Chain A
Amino acid sequence: MMEPMQGKTIFRVAHILLRAVSGFRRRPWLHAVSLFTLAAAFLSFAATLTVALNLNHLIGGWVGNSEMTVYLKDDTSDAEITQLKNAVRAIDGVQKVQVTTKARAREKFAKDLGAYGDIGSTLPKSAFPASLDIYLSDQLSRDRDSRHQLAARLSKVNMIDEVELYDDWFERLSAMSTMGRTAAWGLGLLAAVVAILVVAATVRTGVSARRKEISVMRFVGATQAYVRLPFLIEGAVEATLAMLLALLSLHYLMNHVDSVLGSIMPLLGGGSIIRLQSTILFSLIVGGFLAGLLGARLSLRKLEEA
């Protein structure tokens, strides 16, 4: 009697991996087209996400530091400033009051403008008034009317020249930020759908081209998992590679943006351009992997029915 052969799991796994690799090798152009299509979809999502994050950061920089600024008249003495600071600090709903002297205002201007800081020396002394940055409690921050009443009260004080509330800016920027976030999520969803469809179409083409091979594999004793796993690996690897390619492209794109806009950002009050954090990058890579897996899984439904 002939003895049937016994195999080892490690070699079975190796053959599955080799089959997945051979899928790429046998249809290189199809996979290249899919890879770049996926990478383009992922890049547009990641870029929009980056823009949204920067908008949030910018808005935070503008309104997060000071929720109300009171500019003082030029002839206000230091003693009067201290007296005013204590009076404002005593108002219900005011959490903190920070004084910016004329000298400090000029320094801050020079620092914020970086390379353009010299402009400050050409401006008149009155361009840098002393000011009070007033931080409000959450309750007062949320209550638009109370903030306006407080501003009106302060503007009546003799030594106060002007009260800045930032409301219009904040509302406009909030709307932009919300739009950016919505666009990022929308593109994210679109990128995921594109990824699933592109991977499904690619894997389906592979399954179709290898239908005879699959049927022979079943005749010779391949399990369902043995037949399906190479295609699942193919889909998941392709989408993951596409995501890595997209993130690498974004990295170089951001380098370019940094070189162009990096010096202007401080002028806008947002500090340096921020990039996607490592946790977001990791989530995007995992998301790409899962989208690829799901796309491949969908295309294998018919294989199971066959």
Chain B
Amino acid sequence: MYNMTTFNIQTNVPSRHLSDTTPLIKLFRVSKFYKPENPALFDVSFDIDPGDFLYIAGASGAGKSTLLKLLHLGEQPDTGTIQFNGHDVSSLKPSAISVLRRSMGIIFQDFKLIDDLSVAANIGLSLEVIGVSPAFIHQRVGEVLEEVGLPGIEDEMAGSLSGGEQQRVAIARALAPNPQLILADEPTGSLDTYSANFVLDMLESINERGATVIVATHDRMLMAARPHRTLALENGKLVGFSRKGAFKSRDTKFSNSAEAI
């Protein structure tokens, strides 16, 4: 059995950035238990440098969503530590967590748009909480809609859009406050191939402009078509890693998965 406690992904998987850069996110021996006998995450350690594009891969129930929740500070780990820009966030007050979340954008498989609000109001939510002026919100909403290829739909109701359009609006909402980090939970899961490719193009474009992007996915085709650094989870354990597409793992199942990719 692979000994996870000796697994040091930072030394084994250097990011594409210089090694002396302070990691944007550092997880050290993080575990999360919803049931004592069945950890959602167990002894996971890795670093994410600023500007990384990272897949978190794994089947349903592998722990991807739990890991994203921890990264988004929606939950606290039961053991281990999580650092953002070198600061331990485990003891942050709720208000400080809210402030930290403003530097992250989050994208969901089910978009999480408010159907009875306009597109502008949906995108504006992420700017309102920061406290920018209504005039700036109006301007910025126009800009991000342009970026996601949906100019001029500010006044349409979110519920009236197609799935692909809704996901692009969700990306626009995540993009609006210029986040340092984008977390995407199965962002292409509900989309057709064309829309999925568009969404991935968007995420890569955001990443090229300097934002760190973390995508949780179980879609091997997607990872094969657009290779990026990948962490693989299985039953809550980190079982493998790769640079762009080249997996390394001592775990048989994961090796098989990696070959498939």
Contact status B178-A4, CB under 8 Å: yes
Are the CB atoms of B112 and A215 closer together than 8 Å? yes
The answer to whether B201 has its CB under 8 Å from any CB of chain A is no
Q: Which residues of A contact B112 (CB under 8 A)?
A: 212, 215-216, 219
Interface size class of A (residues with CB under 8 A): 20 to 34
The docked-state distance in angstroms from the alpha carbon of A10 to that of B134 is 11
Question: Which residues of B are found within 8 Å of A8, using beta-carbon distances?
Answer: 131-133
Q: Which positions 84-131 of chain B face chain A at CB distance < 8 Å?
A: 94-95, 98-104, 106, 112-114, 117, 125-131
CA distance A184 to B232 in the complex (A): 71
Pick from A11, A215, A219 the residue with the most CB of B within 10 Å. Answer: A219
* CB-based contact A15/B128 at 8 Å: yes
Chain B residues bordering chain A, tally (CB within 8 A): 35
A220 touches B180 (CB 8 A): no
Residues of B contacting A215 in the complex (Cβ-Cβ under 8 angstroms) = 112
Give the residue among A8, A9, A215 with the most B Cβ atoms within 10 A: A8
Chain A residue numbers with a CB within 8 Å of B117 are 213
Question: Are B210 and A223 in contact (CB-based, < 8 A)?
Answer: no
Interface flag for A3 (CB, 8 Å): yes
A79: interface (CB < 8 Å)? no
A13 to B1, CA, bound (A): 56
Judge whether A125 is part of the interface by a CB distance below 8 angstroms.
no
Q: How distant is A62 from chain B, measured CB to nearest CB, in Å?
A: 62
Check: A124 CB closer than 8 A to any chain B CB: no
A-B contact list, 30 entries, CB within 8 Å: A1-B180, A1-B210, A4-B178, A5-B102, A5-B127, A5-B130, A5-B132, A8-B132, A8-B133, A11-B131, A12-B128, A12-B129, A12-B130, A15-B129, A15-B131, A212-B112, A212-B114, A213-B114, A215-B112, A216-B112, A216-B114, A217-B129, A220-B125, A221-B100, A221-B102, A221-B126, A221-B130, A223-B129, A224-B94, A224-B98
Measured CB to CB, the residues of B under 8 A from A are: 50-51, 72, 94-95, 98-104, 106, 112-114, 117, 125-134, 173, 177-180, 209-211
On A, residues with C-beta under 8 Å from B are 1-12, 14-15, 19, 212-213, 215-226
